[in-house]
Amino acid sequence: MTEVNLGEEIVFWISGGLAVLGALGMILSKKAVHSALWVALTMINLAILYIANSAPFLGMVQVIVYTGAVMMLFLFVLMVVGVDSSDSLIETLKGQRLVSIVLAIGLAILLIAGVGAGLTDVVPVGLEEANGVDGGNVEGIARLLFTDYLIAFEVTSALLITAALGAMVLAHRERWLPRASQAELSRSRFLGAGHPGNLPSSGTYARHNAVDTPALLPDGSPSELSIPGPLVARGDVRPIDHHDVDQIESLGGGTK
C-alpha cells in the first residue's frame, strides 16, 4: 500500500477538485445559505479523501459531525440573517479587495511551493503498520485516544461544556411563568370571554372553501368568527356573491 495506485489518484483528483470547488463556492456565493451548502460539499469530499488515505473511521466521523455542524451553520444563517438574505458587495475599507487578493495569492504560492517541495518524492511509511498493529483502524485510534492522548480526550469534554453553555447564553430565553398545561389552557378558554370551542370553519355554503371566504349564518349573513384575524387585518376577505348562494340553495331543494 506504500505505492499510490491509480484508483487512489483518480479519487484524489476528483474529490480534491470538488473540495476546492466547494471552498471557492463558499467564498464566492452571495447568499449566505448557498455558502453553507458549499461548505457541506467540501466537508463530504474531505471525508472521501480521508477514507482514500486508509482512515475510514475519521472519514465517517467527518461526515457525521460536520453534516451536523453545517446544518447548524445553515440554521444560524436562517435565524440571524433571514431566509433569503445576501451579502452586500460594497467595499467598506478602501482598496481592501485588491490587497486581500494579492495577499491571498501570495499565501497560496507560499503554501503550494513549501508543501509541494516538502512532499515530493516522499515514500509513505508505516500506514500498514498503524492500521494493523491493534487489529484495525478503529482499534488503533481507540488505543491512542484512550491511553497516550487521554488528557486531550478528557479536556474535550470541557470544550463541549463551553459549546453547550454558549448556546444556552445566546439562544435560551428564560420563562417567567410555568408553561400552561393543556388542562389550564382549556379552563381559561371556557372561563374567559372568548369563544370556548372550535371556531366555525370557513367557506360553508359559499363558492370557495378557501380560508378567506366567510361561512354563512342561517340568515345568510357572513360569520366573522369563521375568518382568521390576520386576513381581516390584511383586507384579504373575499366578499360573498349572494347570487351564487341563491343558486346553490335552489339546487339543494330550498333548505332555507
121 binds another protein (CB under 8 A): no
What angle separates helix 32-52 from helix 6-28, to the nearest 10 degrees? Answer: 160
Cα separation, 27 vs 39, whole angstroms? 9
51 binds another protein (CB under 8 A): yes
Cα separation, 229 vs 224, whole angstroms? 9
At its nearest, how many Å lie between another protein and the CB of residue 50? Answer: 11
61 binds another protein (CB under 8 A): yes
Contact stretch for another protein (CB under 8 A) within 18-26, 57-65, 103-111, 245-253: 57-65
In the region spanning residues 131 to 170, those forming contacts with another protein, defined by CB under 8 A, are 131-132, 134-139, 141-143, 145-146, 150, 153-154, 156-158, 160-161, 163-168, 170
Cα separation, 16 vs 112, whole angstroms? 14
**Contact at 8 Å (CB) between 231 and 237?**
yes
Contact stretch for another protein (CB under 8 A) within 21-29, 94-102, 110-118, 127-135: 127-135
Kindly tell me the sign of the dihedral angle through the C-alpha atoms of 9, 10, 13, 18: negative
At its nearest, how many Å lie between another protein and the CB of residue 13? Answer: 15
From residue 206 to residue 235, the character string flagging contacts with another protein as x (rule: CB under 8 A) and all else as - is --xxxxx-----------------xx--x-
At its nearest, how many Å lie between another protein and the CB of residue 187? Answer: 13
What phi, psi does 26 have (nearest 5°)? Answer: -60, -40
At its nearest, how many Å lie between another protein and the CB of residue 118? Answer: 25
99 binds another protein (CB under 8 A): no
From residue 166 to residue 205, the character string flagging contacts with another protein as x (rule: CB under 8 A) and all else as - is xxx-xxx-xxxxxx--------------------------
Among 12, 25, 26, 74, binds another protein (CB under 8 A): 74
Cα separation, 43 vs 215, whole angstroms? 54
37 binds another protein (CB under 8 A): yes
Among 47, 49, 215, 240, binds another protein (CB under 8 A): 47
Cα separation, 25 vs 65, whole angstroms? 21
Long-range contacts of 55-62 (CB under 8 A, 24+ apart): 55/137, 56/137, 57/137, 57/138, 57/141, 58/141
In 3D space, the residue among 246, 181, 186, 187 whose CA is nearest the CA of residue 220 turns out to be 246
Judged by beta carbon, residue 20 or residue 142, the one nearer another protein is 142
